[in-house]
Structure 1
Amino acid sequence: MRFSLAVVTATAFLNGCASGSRKVADDTIAIVGVTVIDPSSTQPAIRGQTLLIAGGMIRAVGPSATVAIPAGVRRIDGRGKYAIPGLWDAHVHFMNTGVTALPLLVANGVTSVREMGGHLDSTRAWQERMRVGTLIGPRIITPGPILESPTYLERVVERSRRGDPRLALRVLPYRIGIADSASAVAAIDTLVSRRVDFVKIRTSGSPAAFLATLREARRRGLRVAAHQPGAVSIGTALDSGQTDLEHAILPALSRLSPAARDSIYQKFLDNDAWYTPTLTVSRAVMLSGDSAARAIFGADALRLDARRAYASPWLLEWWRMQVDERAGDTASTRAASNEEAWQSSLADVRRMHALGVNILAGTDAGSVLVYPGFDLHEELRLLVHDAGLQPRDALWSATIGPARFARLDSRLGTLATGKIADLVLLDADPLVDIRNTRRIFAVVQGGRLFSRNDLDRMLREVRSRAAVPSR
């Protein structure tokens, strides 16, 4: 069952989105004289290369003097440009962002995402629209609904009853409660029947229910991404089948000695597991207070952050709910403890990377103050400037790393002959300064070329649909 499920989900992903807008993907493109960057190589930059793209695939890549370009092919001057594989955001919530996040992601060079739980039917509908060319957006792998403890779901109902009734409407349709071993098996069976790509667990109930979920997912060939478990230790979870740990706030680790922490990190290596620290949202949660978050809804929002212009009404409504949940909190009341937690989180990432743990770049787009597309570049900056990764390693975490998690690294993640033509052309070298990933000259997704003018037009269209901030 493991082999057949992996084949089915990978085929649906590649056929449903990888071909992208097939109307134009069959046009052949030659990018001539470009510097090609391979994040999986210790010598990742190769100058003077030509990429020949046809039918949505990379047909040839090599020194410009050796790659034959057919007559009449559109040529892109790649001199002074840097080609990196299409970027991934490994932690996105479309149930919070809404559909306008899709073109925003592509406009920022994010050609694939790991959606971390939401409305499966909506996601599949978007994938079909992308397949036929009526919607621009990234490839999506998805777990479908999030698995939760019954206690959490009951708390949502109670909070919605006492406060904003929209909370339950925005949360409950995308969740499955796991009360015991039997419901765990039933939930995984449902997810397998829906052909999801992996499993997402947010809150864990009893140890028996949580471990049963992991065992059944492993038996059915599904990887499991989950928050820090409350029911069992991180080490037990990793040994039992959790394949990815989400988020950088790990109080269970902060209380341990360095040697004890290393023993937990070793569990990641022993189980070939992954860590997605989502530094962007962790910093927003820990280091911004209520007043800073509320300012994004005020008349000066655009002056404070120009990206606010791209936040949809749907996203802003969710942000308001999140801010209201932490009403009265201020940065000053928790600054010292949160700065300590932030530094501890960075130390975890730094040490895990040094030991060889697989790190994925994800933003938690949809959470308050996390902007779809834009903040993937901030995540890369934080990984390098705050957590100490080299730029090449940060690029790995947003290219070949998530492709491997998705079991799609034979088709995505590097720029090689026979792979899907997903790439970003940059005006400056990201290996010199990771912030250069923001300097996008063009994006190619599934062979479709988006020029800088195309990307700017996409941004204008999203902005025109966004709400105007008011008091």
Structure 2
Amino acid sequence: MKLQKYILPILAYFILTSCNTIALESYDIVIQNGQIIDLVTGKITNQDLYIRDGKIAKIESSGGEGRFKADKIIDASATYILPGFWDNHTHFRGGDSLISENKNLLPLFLANGITTVRDAGGDLTSSVMQWKKEIAAGSLDGPTIYTSGPKIDGPDGTWAGSLEVVTDEDITKALDSLESLQTDFVKLYDSRISGEAYLKTLKETDKRGLITSGHMPFTVTLKETVDAGIDAVEHLYYIMKGCSAVETEVTQMLKNKEIGFWEAMPLLMEGYQTSTAQNTFSLLKNKNVYVVPTLHIGKNLSYLDEVNHKDDPYLKYMGKGIIKSYKGRIKGALNASEKARKDRKELDRFFGTLTKSLNDAGVKLLAGSDSGAYNSYTYPGISLHKELQAMVQIGMTPLEALRTSAYNGAHYLKKDKAYGTIALGKQADLVLLDANPLEDIKNTQRINTVIQSSKIYNKEQLTTMLKSLIK
């Protein structure tokens, strides 16, 4: 009886402690006391995030006494947490001699809180596909890459590696090739492609259920392009064309080869008509077509004749080959006529107003930097933050600008079930900021920590990463 008196309490103790051990949940990362920003509503809530296997497994209000085990606990007090930024228009390109220089740019994105990029066409497809695999496997530091692979254009297109299409057979072969490569979307370019081949390509991609983006040959109208099924329009030249009351006449002049692309610009801008523009905005909105304004690079290139970039802080991260590739646009800007320079700057100002009008009309925008070789002084990483600032400068709210990055980017590529917001089951791609970006959009650069799935990059690691890239 005396033995039984001691055994029963001991058994009860072991049963209770065993149950507690079994109930203890395990996580890879727990982020406590963070200010979570809802990109839909703009609401900020104090919450704890629990991450397991690279995904958000639980979200709770901060201050609870839940018991758990975690490999890493991050005290996010006084930080603001967003989905990792998306740069929705970048380029990896320049030929075999620039493969290593392009690869060296990958950490620049992470150091700027960018966990995903959309590569809008280049000539390094095999390398980009390999980087994608290595990044996904965790063996290479860099953002998740969604790529179009080579662009589709006409014969002797401007960019090396483009797929040339003229006939229906060419279109079939090009799309078969891209599907075989398992690219994430189809990018069309306008340097040599005919209007007929362009529209046929769009219609065929639509039949196949492929996502598209692109420029637009000026020998077709914007409505024809939208009706053919384009999903995103890169840059504002083509939107402006669809907002002009003289689009039909200018299109015919281009078909007759009476004028060229740049000669058409002032005619279209002068012909801008509010009623035409509103009809175009409604068409874009109703057809769910996204627009990529690329305001920052537009200003960069418009003022190459005035601004000396030799002391740019990010120039030191660029390889010699990439810097050399900048010379073409610089030479073009310096050799341009006075009228051409004036027209370019006027166009830049007009595009700011057009972007605000698009946003006010409910057209979905995508923040993209257009960074990469040949695009002079538009640096990977930091240029996305400059793009967000440009959006706010023309009158968008910080919340509206922030939505154009991860939120709209995920929806455009149909990845919104896994990305774009901080929610249960979504990928744990996060950026922790030391200040509130809703109060000042420049605070997107106040990066404290970047989390990509289960990998953590703290401020010290990000600084070290940048220093290692200095050329």
CA distance in 2, matches of 1:44, 1:222: 35
CA contact (8 A) 2:27 2:68 kept: no
- Give the 3 Å change call, closer, same or farther, for CA 322–225 of structure 1 in structure 2: same
Superimposed CA distance per residue, residues 46-83 of structure 1 (whole angstroms, 9 cap, x where no aligned partner): 1x211111221111122013473513542211111000
Is 1:122 aligned to residue 127 of structure 2? Answer: yes
Q: What is residue 60 of structure 1 aligned with on the other side?
A: 58
- Give the 3 Å change call, closer, same or farther, for CA 434–67 of structure 1 in structure 2: farther
- Give the 3 Å change call, closer, same or farther, for CA 184–247 of structure 1 in structure 2: same
- Give the 3 Å change call, closer, same or farther, for CA 287–248 of structure 1 in structure 2: farther
CA contact (8 A) 2:304 2:330 kept: no
The structural deviation recorded for 1:413 is 0.8
CA contact (8 A) 1:249 1:341 kept: no
Aligned match for 1:74, one of 53, 61, 72: 72
Q: What is residue 164 of structure 1 aligned with on the other side?
A: none
Q: What is residue 204 of structure 2 aligned with on the other side?
A: 216
CA contact (8 A) 2:136 2:144 kept: no
Indicate the structure (1 or 2) with the bigger Cα radius of gyration: 2
Q: What is residue 19 of structure 1 aligned with on the other side?
A: none
Letter in 2 for 1:74: K
CA distance in 1, matches of 2:164, 2:285: 30
Letter in 2 for 1:44: K
> After alignment, is 401-410 or 204-213 more displaced?
204-213
Is 1:393 aligned to residue 392 of structure 2? Answer: no
Q: What is residue 224 of structure 2 aligned with on the other side?
A: 236
Superimposed CA distance per residue, residues 372-395 of structure 1 (whole angstroms, 9 cap, x where no aligned partner): 001110000001112x11111111
Letter in 2 for 1:113: V
The structural deviation recorded for 1:323 is 2.6
Is 1:359 aligned to residue 365 of structure 2? Answer: yes
RMSD of aligned Cα (Å): 1.9
Q: What is residue 8 of structure 1 aligned with on the other side?
A: none
Q: What is residue 335 of structure 2 aligned with on the other side?
A: 328
Tell me the SS of whatever aligns to 2:110: helix
- Give the 3 Å change call, closer, same or farther, for CA 343–67 of structure 1 in structure 2: farther
Superimposed CA distance per residue, residues 170-219 of structure 1 (whole angstroms, 9 cap, x where no aligned partner): x42x2111223331222112111221111101116222211110011011
Is 1:420 aligned to residue 418 of structure 2? Answer: no
Q: What is residue 106 of structure 1 aligned with on the other side?
A: 110
- Give the 3 Å change call, closer, same or farther, for CA 60–67 of structure 1 in structure 2: farther
Superimposed CA distance per residue, residues 126-145 of structure 1 (whole angstroms, 9 cap, x where no aligned partner): 11222333310000111110
Tell me the SS of whatever aligns to 2:444: helix
Tell me the SS of whatever aligns to 1:76: strand
CA contact (8 A) 1:81 1:425 kept: yes
CA distance in 2, matches of 1:272, 1:381: 25
Q: What is residue 380 of structure 2 aligned with on the other side?
A: 372
Tell me the SS of whatever aligns to 1:130: helix
CA contact (8 A) 2:47 2:62 kept: yes
Tell me the SS of whatever aligns to 1:95: coil
CA contact (8 A) 1:30 1:50 kept: yes
Letter in 1 for 2:318: A
CA distance in 2, matches of 1:236, 1:44: 40
Q: What is residue 32 of structure 1 aligned with on the other side?
A: 32
Aligned match for 2:171, one of 173, 184, 187: 184
CA distance in 2, matches of 1:343, 1:218: 34
CA distance in 1, matches of 2:281, 2:463: 42
Is 1:226 aligned to residue 214 of structure 2? Answer: yes
Tell me the SS of whatever aligns to 1:71: strand
CA contact (8 A) 2:27 2:70 kept: no
- Give the 3 Å change call, closer, same or farther, for CA 61–27 of structure 1 in structure 2: closer
CA contact (8 A) 1:52 1:69 kept: no
